[in-house]
Amino acid sequence: MKIGAVLGFNLIDYPGKIAAVAFTPGCNYLCPHCHAAPLLANAKDIGDAGFLQYLETVKEWVTGVVICGGEPTLQPDLIPFMEKIRSLSLAVKLDTNGSNPALLARILARDLADYVAMDVKGPESLWSATAGVPGQSAAMLESMKLVVRFPIYEFRTTVAPVLRANGEISFLTVPEMAAAARLIIETTGSPDHKYYVQKFIPRKDGLLDKRFEAFPETPIQLLQDIHKEVLKHLPNTQVRG
Ligand code: SF4
């Protein structure tokens, strides 16, 4: 499987685990605020053999593996890769943009992921702008229904600037984030989900849309206001810095 970069171990990306992280290159979305896709676009494929060998040597103290990207479900050999990690008795966390419910269903059926984190790119009315590509609603809604069937899962939204229909760019608002929270409830039939409201962090070394590089990180006051409002809908919501 193609891997663009790795972290040998990490205590943040997989809560409760010491996790190795594999970043897969390529994404089918064009989120304007994305910094991962431009970085990974220039990354050389280092393949999975060395990563799997590394896991063999550290499996006594590394307790999990995070597969993220880019978008991992674009990798045609993701399932065999996950099976190999499983054979080492390591926990697996998959990060996804929710664009491939068919593959998520196969991963679920084979019990290949312990934890799935899915991006919810704001309210559905803005998905074309926030994901950078139109026509993703059906897949993302289907993925939301599947994600809640994994042993552990989370939904998360980066409170990023959005390119509006009138050409202006402004941060997701409190009402828009409340709409995203309500959509999660309507789609899954429950408010009992871990939901993370994440800070947008600008990078001068490359976002997909250069205009977004001029923006500051998400103002703390906005994050607090969103948190307060979203908690009314999804009581297990936290702000992630
Ligand atoms: S932020 Fe968007 S474009 Fe970037 S990797 Fe995630 S889904 Fe893909």
Q: Which residues pair with 68 in a beta bridge?
A: 23
Q: Which residues pair with 159 in a beta bridge?
A: 199
- pLDDT in the model for residue 32: 95
Pocket mutation for ligand 1, best pick of 66, 97, 119 (most atoms within 8 Å of C-beta): 97
- pLDDT in the model for residue 20: 97
User: CA quadruple 74, 76, 77, 78: dihedral positive or negative?
Assistant: positive
Task: Output the pTM of the full model.
Answer: 0.96
For the chain, residues with pLDDT lower than 70 are none
* Beta carbons of 11 and 88 less than 8 angstroms apart: no
- pLDDT in the model for residue 88: 96
- pLDDT in the model for residue 43: 85
Distance CA 95, CA 104 (A): 11
Q: Which domain holds residue 195?
A: 5-240
Q: What is the CATH number of the domain that holds 119?
A: 3.20.20.70
Ligand 1, atom 2, lies closest to the CA of: 31
- pLDDT in the model for residue 79: 98
The CB of 153 under 6 Å from ligand 1? The reply is no
Secondary structure element (H or E) that encloses residue 239, with its range: strand 237-240
Identity at 199, one-letter amino acid code:
K
pLDDT digits (tens, 9 = 90+) for 100-132: 999 999 999 999 999 999 999 999 999 999 999
- Output phi, psi for 71, to 5 deg: -125, 105
The CB of 120 under 6 Å from ligand 1? The reply is no
Distance CA 202, CA 200 (A): 6
Secondary structure element (H or E) that encloses residue 228, with its range: helix 220-231
The structural domain count of the chain equals 1
Distance CA 212, CA 208 (A): 8
The CB of 4 under 6 Å from ligand 1? The reply is no
- pLDDT in the model for residue 94: 98
- pLDDT in the model for residue 203: 82
